[in-house]
A and B are shown apart, each in its own frame.
Chain A
């Protein structure tokens, strides 16, 4: 089975993903840090959105509520539904701006304005 190299632009991290595996699963299997946010893993919630900046891939059905046609056309796809067909370069997209980001409960804030300020990439800060 063909294995492809997936490179995360921000961190330079590289991991392998075969054509039958999705990029989110491969990343969570091989990377210790949570570089890509893990949500429903089933194409519904949108938190794992990435932008593919280089490479060929196929996707399976994603909820249009979180990945619109224009987004998809610009290379934004959900990592849990992303299957490589060549080596890929991806950027993590801060899709959590659509919701309040869940932080540790001690620093948690319900302020609505947080929704427009947050540019979370899924990393612990």
Chain B
């Protein structure tokens, strides 16, 4: 198998209540790098090891939460094909094109809304700015990491966990139209066909996006960023405590995906995660199943029970 079609999460657009405290959080505490602003007062940021211009977009709004999530596909031809497939499937609503340049340094995007109410988009092009590691020009004789990193400084935006009602429809759209596979699922033991959580991947990662069934539309649980080791998760937690950033839970381990994690909140109450580890996924890996009665260890392996905030706190 070669990695084709939808390659990876490309960006997440997050609404914040006040821009300045948000920027202090995302730049100084989380440690993303600002790469641009536009005339709509959107601020564009990226993690240090990402080559594309941005992966996080912030805008000030009256409501916290996620505006949309973008997926990079392998070519303009794939973008056209998948747009047509999405239209034909009848599974998505509010479909349409956004012109190249509407989002800074980004080519045309095809936007749609999933059955769980989440706005998603596909794009094939974003300008490269590089990771700053090359010693003799970009990507030539690179150092392993660049100088001047701040805060937690994860390597990349990795995935989102989202809450919505029509989980079956969204899983169908991602698997049958967009080519994702389910790596892990949570089902009710009484009715194993009733899925309450789906962890979906388009790559070798244990998940690129996850959805949990909740009686809401378009809600945002967290955006996650990747760290290289458990020790870095511990150090991230030290940074969160030192900066008096509200930690939700952790550092601990997820049963699902086996990732080592800490959850925390941005100054508008949007949840962030930094994590390390997990496993390499291949499309022939059998689906891992968790029952609702073991949801505790599935989510937080050490405590073996959910904290009160996991299901009730989202934006």
Chain A residues with CB under 8 Å of chain B are 37-45, 47, 61-65, 96, 98-102, 104-106, 108, 110, 112, 115
Q: A61-B17, A102-B306, A102-B311 are known contacts. Are A45 and B269 too (CB-CB below 8 A)?
A: yes
A102 touches B307 (CB 8 A): yes
Complex CA–CA separation, A11 to B311 (angstroms): 26
B79 at the interface (CB under 8 A from A): no
Assess the B265–A96 pair: CB atoms within 8 A.
no
Smallest Cβ distance from A94 to chain B, in angstroms? Answer: 11
| Interface: B214 (CB within 8 A) | yes
**A115 cross-chain contacts in B, Cβ below 8 A:** 215
B312 (CB) vs chain A CBs: closest residue: A99
Quick one: which of A38, A41, A44, A99 contacts B311, CB cutoff 8 A?
A99
CB pairs A–B below 8 angstroms (30 shown): A38-B309, A39-B309, A40-B246, A42-B246, A42-B267, A42-B269, A43-B17, A43-B64, A44-B268, A47-B309, A47-B313, A61-B17, A61-B18, A63-B268, A64-B62, A64-B63, A65-B63, A65-B64, A65-B315, A99-B215, A100-B215, A101-B308, A102-B307, A102-B311, A105-B295, A108-B292, A108-B295, A108-B306, A110-B196, A112-B215
Q: Is the CB of B304 within 8 A of A105?
A: yes
Q: B282 within 8 Å of A by Cβ? A: no
A63 engages B62 (CB within 8 Å): yes
Q: Does B100 contact A (CB under 8 A)?
A: no
A99 to B214 Cα, complex, angstroms:
7
B295 touching A47, Cβ below 8 Å: no
Say yes or no: is B65 at the interface (Cβ < 8 Å to chain A). Answer: yes
A120 to chain B: closest residue by CB: B312
Chain B residues near A104 (CB-CB < 8 A): 305
A99 with B216: CB separation less than 8 A: yes
Q: Nearest Cβ distance between residue B30 and chain A, in whole angstroms?
A: 14
The reply to whether the CB of B226 lies closer than 8 angstroms to some CB of chain A is no
Interface: B75 (CB within 8 A): no
User: How far is it, in angstroms, between the C-alpha of A51 and the C-alpha of B178 when the chains are bound?
Assistant: 46
In the bound complex, CA of A47 to CA of B307 (Å): 14
Given A42-B267, A47-B313, check contact A105 B305 (CB 8 Å): yes
